Amino acid sequence: MSGPGTVTRVVVVGADAAGMSAAHQALRTARRTGRELAITVLDRGTHTSYSACGIPYWMAGDVDGGDELVARSAEAHREAGIDLRLGVEVVAADLPGRTVTTADGETIDYDELVVATGAPAVVPDWALRPDGTTYAGVGVVKTLDDGAAWVERFAEAGDGAHVVVVGAGYVGVEVAEAAMRHGFGVTVLTRGRGMSMLEDEMAERVDLALCDAGAEVVLGVEVTGLDTDGDRVTGVRWDGGSREADLVVLAIGVRPATGFLRGSGLEMADNGALRPDPHGRVAEHVWAAGDCCEVRRRLDDQWVFRPLGTYATKHGRALGDSLAGGTLTFDGMVDTSITRFSHDEVHLEVARTGLSRADAEAAGLEPVVVVTDGSTASGYMPEAEPITLWVMADRTTRRLLGVQVVGGRGAGKRIDAAAAVLWHGGTVDDLAWMDLAYAPPFATAWDVLQVAARRVAERL
Amino acid sequence: MSGPGTVTRVVVVGADAAGMSAAHQALRTARRTGRELAITVLDRGTHTSYSACGIPYWMAGDVDGGDELVARSAEAHREAGIDLRLGVEVVAADLPGRTVTTADGETIDYDELVVATGAPAVVPDWALRPDGTTYAGVGVVKTLDDGAAWVERFAEAGDGAHVVVVGAGYVGVEVAEAAMRHGFGVTVLTRGRGMSMLEDEMAERVDLALCDAGAEVVLGVEVTGLDTDGDRVTGVRWDGGSREADLVVLAIGVRPATGFLRGSGLEMADNGALRPDPHGRVAEHVWAAGDCCEVRRRLDDQWVFRPLGTYATKHGRALGDSLAGGTLTFDGMVDTSITRFSHDEVHLEVARTGLSRADAEAAGLEPVVVVTDGSTASGYMPEAEPITLWVMADRTTRRLLGVQVVGGRGAGKRIDAAAAVLWHGGTVDDLAWMDLAYAPPFATAWDVLQVAARRVAERL
């Protein structure tokens, strides 16, 4: 890097969670280390630092407006000393020459490049008009503009409108909730069995909850096309079937926006994701964090693509610190995630951490799994809600390998205690015997997580 | 112990959580190890295996009847092959001779003795009539009979009745909630500052919540006596003050019921608590678990008196297993506990784990503490509730030492992730950077626990 007295020109591509966490942390750390940084952040969009995860709740009406999802405004970033340029798309990078080129043809020099371009939502060819645009009534759920479009579509849709959600991952389930809140009919279509981050026996409880709340769930279909009136969508077709639709939400995944780095020689996953080290470095003078990257899973030391905001902010922060001479690292993750489906009387919290059974087998481990039903509070309390735990440990080492939770209010965040055990490489005995909090409104005397762990321990 | 083919006579004194966990686990393990056990359980009371922690919620009306608090009935214990004798008080033990003597003068031989006598509530002298009974309207909250008496007193009390709760620990706060649910006026009197398991800055938030909900809270008073009409209580007096009262709840603590072992040579704490090893052993042929014991705190390797059901069931289970030839151990605790105060619009969850600042200083550590305010969910979500975290770490080793939480719905059980880090001896950096679950209804992108940990990490 540059010596004292000289200014390091940092160019950050992407002004969302990872990029802005990196930029602000770099400035904070630079004050301590005495580095002089000139930070330019380029983003092709018009918004910064917003919570993409919050968009389904904006669509549902829980959040009043898109502004509420913005953690820090463009003005606030600029006041902190960041040269933020919105509406600027980077289309090429010359790593040996240390320049990036924008769509407008401008070439920008850098000393250090931070790639934080995120991962736009996938729009399959079958959803596009011949000219490459989407039909009216069809859209993805990723940017604030997407959110605003959905809020408008929902407002305009008539009382009997039917919404088809393609994809039953976290976003699909959250959007189904949002649509049902407006009283729309909802159909969820999914290629496989839905909720692929859960084991079958847990995922099916989510399907059932959607059905209980009045949604149609169609598993195992590969969507092949849309029916339209030429301008608007009128239905969705798959091999051997179809469903009329007024609105179609595409929630089938995201893909790293790293096209401008193709041919640069940087190591990339098949989907184009970068693989930064714990400091966020991918090559000399090149750094990356956030949804355009894979993350390292500590349990089996595998790279996996998990475009989650919590990894983006953590890795971004470590990157910014390291860039400015600090020592912070993002030491990987244990594959924790959470969501909920809530509509009228149905409220299901869903969370997971650790390996799947397939992951464990691929790693050559000997997984033993037990599924346990229990209660979130003492059975005699009004707070008691059903909860089901899937717990997996390794037969030989007794190491805890994974936990999945499906249950009522108070079920989901219980995953954190299991995630902490996984973080520390603990055993299923640690989970069974450690000191979790008990009082009747909050748990049973042996917390259900500990009952479930004990049952696995007894099978090893 | 005894050889194959012979029967080991186990006498368990006390038929509650610890004793019955031990008895049932011993039977389970014996089936595996081939030991033959004849288990006799003696209890001076009339109930077994009930949740004492649930009594305040029964008093509040959340629980329909005392039966709901009974985890397993006397019949169920007997059907499992346990010789359960209720209404039998053990008044003496001859350890060298391996006998116990009952109040009726019966002498019972044993090969192995399990002491699980619990800890009755303390009734101070000032609360007693000259004949040693309590005045009408005065009682403790410990046994099912106590609970039934309070349910009756609450039902009989008129609309304007005033309840004075002496003691502001967990039970005091829970009973205050119960009394307020019935619309009674409530005064909480406490010797020190209340909620002594919390640091001052956290405890005062509980006092404020009680006040907000309409209770009178009087801190720093030493109650000296009761006013009575000769039969019923009419008020409570302290040095320089008094309060009229229709009912007085004594919630000033419990004391191990180990009087019958005095002079036996067993190691005891000042209050009479026993100190069993991880298998539950206190001496050859003598075992103990539950509220009549201290428990080992892993963090500073100190014995402390924490009469909690979760330790009783865990230690009891390890004891029963070990007694029958198994290897289970209760490897101490990290001092986790939780409660809540909830009345009308006021809902405060309170939890703690680890050392207090005074504990840390006594252990020669260099505690650094930061208090952080945050939110249980993303700020834009309706689920977001305020939460305050007190986090302490050691300056030299960066080890996490303790966490305390006070906040709205969803705040309390967050303590478990911190308890897991403490269990594993992790650092404040582990807590800050580990992989806790994030989605907008459940957390901020950096969970508030991690924001709080990060702020401590930055001060070390």
Residue A226 has pLDDT above 90, yes or no: yes
Residue B39 main-chain phi, psi, to 5 deg:
-105, 120
Q: Which of residues A4 and A338 earns the better pLDDT score?
A: A338
In angstroms, the CA A55 to CA A69 distance is 8
Q: What is the largest CA-CA distance in chain B?
A: 69
Distance to chain B for A420, nearest Cα, Å = 6
Q: pLDDT, tens digit, for every residue of A388-405?
A: 999 999 999 999 999 999
Portion of chain A with pLDDT greater than 70, in percent = 99
Q: What is the mean pLDDT of residues A336-361?
A: 97
pLDDT for A5 equals 66
In angstroms, the CA A112 to CA A93 distance is 12
Which pLDDT band, with edges at 50, 70 and 90, does B1 fall under? very low
* Beta pairing class for B36-43 and B83-86: parallel
* ipTM of the shown complex: 0.96
Tokens of A418: 């299991």
Distance to chain B for A310, nearest Cα, Å = 5
Q: What is the mean pLDDT of residues A151-167?
A: 95
Q: Where is B226: in which H helix or E strand?
A: strand B223-228
Report the alpha-carbon angle A164-A168-A170, nearest 5: 120
Inter-chain CB pairs, A–B, below 8 Å: 208
A119-136: burial string, b at 16+ Cβ within 10 Å, e else: bbbbbeeebeeeeeebbe
Tokens of B62: 């959340």
Contact check, Cβ <8 Å, B435/A335: yes
In Å, how far are A323, B123, B227, B241 from B232, measured between CA atoms?
74, 16, 9, 20
Residue B325 has pLDDT above 50, yes or no: yes
| In contact, A454 and A446? CB cutoff 8 Å | yes
Which of A20, A435, A448 to mutate: most B Cβ within 10 Å? A435
A287-323: burial string, b at 16+ Cβ within 10 Å, e else: bbbbbbbbbbbbbbebeebbbbbbbbbbbbbbbbbbb
Residue B441 has pLDDT above 60, yes or no: yes
Residue A380 has pLDDT above 90, yes or no: yes
Q: pLDDT, tens digit, for every residue of B378-391?
A: 999 999 999 999 99
Handedness of CA B420, B422, B424, B426 (dihedral sign): positive
Residue B224 main-chain phi, psi, to 5 deg:
-115, -20
Contact check, Cβ <8 Å, A51/B340: no
Residue B413 has pLDDT above 70, yes or no: yes
Report DSSP letters for B394-459, one per residue: ETTT-BEEEEEEEESTT-GGGHHHHHHHHHTT-BHHHHHHS-----TTT--SS-HHHHHHHHHHHH
Contact check, Cβ <8 Å, A414/B413: yes
Contact check, Cβ <8 Å, B437/A378: no
Tokens of A295: 């993350």
Tokens of B159: 């609309």
Closest CA to A376 of A337, A354, A401, A349: A349
In Å, how far are A63, A67, A123 from A269, measured between CA atoms?
36, 34, 20
Q: pLDDT, tens digit, for every residue of B142-197?
A: 999 999 999 999 999 988 999 999 999 999 999 999 999 999 999 999 998 889 99
Question: B108 - beta bridge partners?
Answer: B100
Distance to chain A for B297, nearest Cα, Å = 10
In angstroms, the CA B319 to CA B44 distance is 22
Average pLDDT, chain A: 96
Q: Which of residues A159 and B295 earns the better pLDDT score?
A: B295
* Amino acid making up residue A269: A
Angle between the B170-181 and B144-156 helix axes, to the nearest 10 degrees? 30
pLDDT for B226 equals 97
| In contact, A241 and A284? CB cutoff 8 Å | no
**Chain A neighbors of B319, CB-CB under 8 A:** none
Least CB–CB distance from B424: residue in A63, A336, A426: A426
Least CB–CB distance from B54: residue in A378, A422, A430: A378
Domains and CATH numbers, chain A: 7-49+65-119+255-323 (3.50.50.60), 125-250 (3.50.50.60), 347-457 (3.30.390.30)
Closest CA to A85 of A137, A43, A138, A128: A43
pLDDT for B4 equals 55
Portion of chain B with pLDDT greater than 70, in percent = 99
Neighbours of B377 (CB within 10 A): 21
Contact check, Cβ <8 Å, A437/B63: no
Closest CA to B42 of B77, B104, B89, B79: B89
pLDDT for B451 equals 98
In angstroms, the CA A15 to CA A40 distance is 10
In angstroms, the CA B388 to CA B98 distance is 53
HSE (side-chain half, CA atoms, 13 Å) at B49: 19
Closest CA to B216 of B198, B190, B247: B190
At B76 the three-state DSSP class reads helix
pLDDT for A4 equals 55
Q: pLDDT, tens digit, for every residue of A27-83?
A: 999 999 999 999 999 999 988 888 999 999 999 999 998 899 998 899 999 999 999
Closest CA to B278 of B237, B327, B205, B233: B327
Q: What is the mean pLDDT of residues B266-289?
A: 97
Neighbours of A328 (CB within 10 A): 23
Which pLDDT band, with edges at 50, 70 and 90, does B5 fall under? low
Residue A438 has pLDDT above 60, yes or no: yes
Q: Which of residues A40 and B66 earns the better pLDDT score?
A: A40
In Å, how far are A254, B106, B397 from B103, measured between CA atoms?
74, 7, 54
Q: What is the mean pLDDT of residues A13-32?
A: 97
pLDDT for A1 equals 46
Cα distance from N-terminal residue to C-terminal residue, chain A? 52
Least CB–CB distance from A309: residue in B421, B436, B445: B445
Burial class from Cβ neighbours inside 10 Å (0-12, 13-18, 19+) for residue B9 reads: middle
At B268 the three-state DSSP class reads strand
Q: pLDDT, tens digit, for every residue of B331-369?
A: 999 999 999 999 999 999 999 999 999 999 999 999 999
